[in-house]
Amino acid sequence: MGELTGRDFLKEVDFTPDEWGHLVELTGALKSARREGREEQRLRGMNFALIFEKSSTRTRAAFEVGARQQGAHTTYLDPSGAHIGSKESAADTALVLERMYDGIEFRGNSQDTVEALAEHASIPVWNGLTDEWHPTQALCDAFTMVESAGRPARDLSFAYLGDARYNTGNSMLTMGTMMGMDVRMVAPPEFAPSPARVELAREIAASTGARITITDDIEAGVAGVDFVHTDVWVSMGEPHGVWAERCRILAPYRVTAQVMGLAASEAKFMHCLPAFHDLETSTARLVHDLTGMRELEVSDEVFTSEASIVFDQAENRLHSIKAVMVATAS
Ligand code: CP
Ligand code: NVA
């Protein structure tokens, strides 16, 4: 689908459901080609700038490795080593980088920044996560669900539990709707998707046939679903001071074996990662000191269970991000 050449990848709704479906298919084609040793390099000789205002393991790794496997080179720019935002506007940065690069990835707080980069740069700009959207994660998750179930997206259901009003929640709601899925957003009222996001999803559902449920009722929301998703309860950039209250409100939404028992018998557990399922990290230990909780959004039992496909999902960040780069830059 050559018509994606030159396009930006800023949020799901910038694409039609057909274009989005093409990106999901391309993810699978690139994964198979890699596995079977017949990958063709379509980005040879290109250079991509990767701007990270926030930390990353998977997204950065996927852009760097994916670009390299396709024959392109990358430059990692973080706030301590670049001027964007402090001494140089997004617009000026875009006008500089387009003289040297063939694509720009941006991860940071504000969706406005990635939109401004895209407005001013004549090369593709890719959103690696903002507070509002996480579209490369959504593409990965769309592909992972279809791959795992071996059934078309319109026959699949998922429940997303926890903080449903932030980047991953927004992207899951929108992606699932564009794919025509049975989408259940399961969260307490204060962490439910905003009315604007729900209205947008309902508009899209009118043409894709997606079914949308927004509920705080865990039993009703999870009943019979094929996939149970969650994300961290406090996202990057949020103040440390919100942890205690957030944990108190979201504790009932932890994905436990009991919650998985409400889903379909073959249901899988998914998480964009990183996950708080044990006390092996400094942040988890700090939260434990504050709240006494040893596991947060997912129990260690579920995270390490046979039903958990989180590392397949993490691998698919590579293939899906590669699809975004190939579709738009080649
Ligand atoms: N899921 C995800 O975006 O991971 P990183 O923060 O490690 O990039
Ligand atoms: N909601 C999380 C996603 C991490 C991949 C965050 O923004 O920190």
How far, in Å, from the CA of 3 to the mean position of ligand 2?
Answer: 31
Residues with CB under 6 A from ligand 2: 166-168, 231-232, 235-236, 272
Q: What is the pLDDT of residue 80?
A: 78
Q: How confident is the model at residue 57 (pLDDT cuts 50, 70, 90)?
A: very high
- Strand ranges across the sheet with 268-271: 211-215, 182-186, 157-161, 227-230, 268-271
Point out the ligand nearest to the CA of residue 272.
Answer: 1
pLDDT at residue 148, rounded to an integer = 98
pLDDT at residue number 2: 62
Q: Is the dihedral of CA 202, 204, 205, 207 positive or negative?
A: positive
Asked if residue 1 has pLDDT above 60, the reply is no
Residue nearest to atom 2 of ligand 2 (CA): 235
Averaged pLDDT score across all residues of the chain = 97
Between the CA of 231 and the centroid of ligand 2 the distance, in Å, is 7
The residue among 126 and 82 whose pLDDT is bigger is: 126
Ligand nearest to the CA of 138: 1
Measured by CA distance, the residue closest to atom 1 of ligand 2 is: 235
Residue type, 86: S
Q: Give the distance (Å) from ligand 1 centre to CA of residue 135.
A: 12
Residues in the chain: 330
Query: What pLDDT digit, counting tens, does each position of 142-195 carry?
Result: 999 999 999 999 999 999 999 999 999 999 999 999 999 999 999 999 999 999
- Tell me whether strands 227-230 and 157-161 are parallel, antiparallel or unpaired: parallel
In this predicted structure, what is the pLDDT of residue 163?
A: 98
CA 59 to centroid of ligand 1, rounded, Å: 5
Q: What is the position in ligand 2's atom list of the atom closest to the CA of 168?
A: 1
Percent of the chain with pLDDT over 90: 97
Sign of CA dihedral 34, 39, 41, 43: negative
Instruction: Give the ligand 2 atom nearest the CA of 166.
Output: 1
| DSSP string computed for 170-236 | HHHHHHHHHTT-EEEEE--GGGSPPHHHHHHHHHHHHHH--EEEEES-HHHHHTT-SEEEE--SS-T
pLDDT value at position 256? 98
Share of the chain above pLDDT 70, in %: 99
Q: pLDDT (tens digit, 9 = 90+) per residue, 97-112?
A: 999 999 999 999 999 9
- Residue 179 has what pLDDT? 98
Ligand 1 touching residue 11 (CB < 6 A) = no
pLDDT value for 79: 76
Q: What is the pLDDT of residue 241?
A: 96
Task: Specify the higher pLDDT residue, 130 or 3.
Answer: 130
The string of pLDDT tens digits covering residues 284-318 is: 999 999 999 999 999 999 999 999 999 999 999 99
CA 1 to centroid of ligand 2, rounded, Å: 30
Contact 147, 30 (CB under 8 A): no
pLDDT computed for residue 39 by the predictor: 98
Closest ligand 2 atom, CA of 236?
Answer: 8
Q: What is the rounded distance in angstroms from the CA atom of residue 289 to the CA atom of residue 181?
A: 40
Does residue 246 register a pLDDT over 60? Answer: yes
Distance CA 238, CA 158 (A): 27
